[in-house]
Amino acid sequence: MDVAESSARLREARSGAWWFARWPSPSIAAGFTDRSCEPSQLLAAVRTPVAASAEQVHGSSVAVVGSRRGRSPIPGADALVTNVPGVALLVRTADCLPVFFADPARRAVGLAHAGWRGLAAGLPARVVAAMRRAYRTPPGELAVAIGPAIRACCYEVGPEFEARFGPFVQTRGSRRTCDLIGAAVEQLRRCGVRPERIVDSRACTACDTQRWFSLRREGPSTGRLTSMIVVRP
């Protein structure tokens, strides 16, 4: 998977928030919480009280957030896009992929909650298409980042995943795993996003439950990580 190294790009704040430092430009802030951090600390760090969140129904709908006022969480949406400065987009995850999108030149951003159902339905590609329609963002100019999510090392699946994810499903003996991050990167590449503009946090939620929440490891009662992206006012 030919994506950019992220070790120099991730910065942990004292609050327990993590930031994609220097990504993709000073005009955009993108980060996520760990187990020790509250979502309010993300908003406080960028000094904006305005936030829009997605309902997250494990679908493929993308909502355009066009003002500072609106209904939140936005019904039926698993991804949000905006070019309104100071409006923070939020999603919550505990194994699913938080996928950040940024167009610094046009000061537009997007954020997706992508589980296997969303990936199978083409959610990352739908966000790219939504930003192209709404903001005339060329896919080749998009910057994309992937936050903490379950990785192939821990994501065991059934045989039905082979039809959905093909080469991203690997079988070794009785163990069958799926590389959702690889599938997401390939989907983005196919719709015109350049691989060198994709940054991966390389954090596996299921490997490190001391730091991240994992539905697969801990069950449905576990907490959720909050991811945020905002165009600075």
Rounded distance between C-alpha atoms, residue 10 and residue 23, angstroms: 9
pLDDT of amino acid 3: 54
Strands (E), 97-168: 97-103, 108-114, 143-146
Give the separation between CA 122 and CA 126, rounded to whole angstroms.
Answer: 6
Domain range list for the chain: 10-231
CATH homologous superfamily for the domain 10-231: CNF1/YfiH-like putative cysteine hydrolases (3.60.140.10)
pLDDT of residue 109: 98
- Report pTM: 0.94
Q: What is the pLDDT of residue 8?
A: 38
What's the average pLDDT block by block, 10 residues per block, for the chain (233 residues)?
A: 52 82 91 93 85 95 84 91 95 98 98 98 98 98 97 96 95 93 97 95 96 96 96 91
Question: What does the DSSP 8-state code read for residue 67?
Answer: S
What residue has token string 């503009």?
197
The single-letter DSSP state of residue 195 is: G
Q: Which residues pair with 129 in a beta bridge?
A: none
**C-alpha distances in angstroms, 180 versus 28, 99, 170?**
26, 12, 12
Tokens of 163: 């039809």
Q: What's residue 96's pLDDT?
A: 98
Angle, to 10 degrees, between the axis of helix 180-190 and the axis of helix 123-135? 40
Residue with tokens 């799926």: 178
Say if CB 91 and CB 136 are below 8 A apart: no
Closest of 29, 8, 26 to residue 228, by C-alpha: 29
Residue 165 and residue 182: Cα distance in Å, rounded? 10
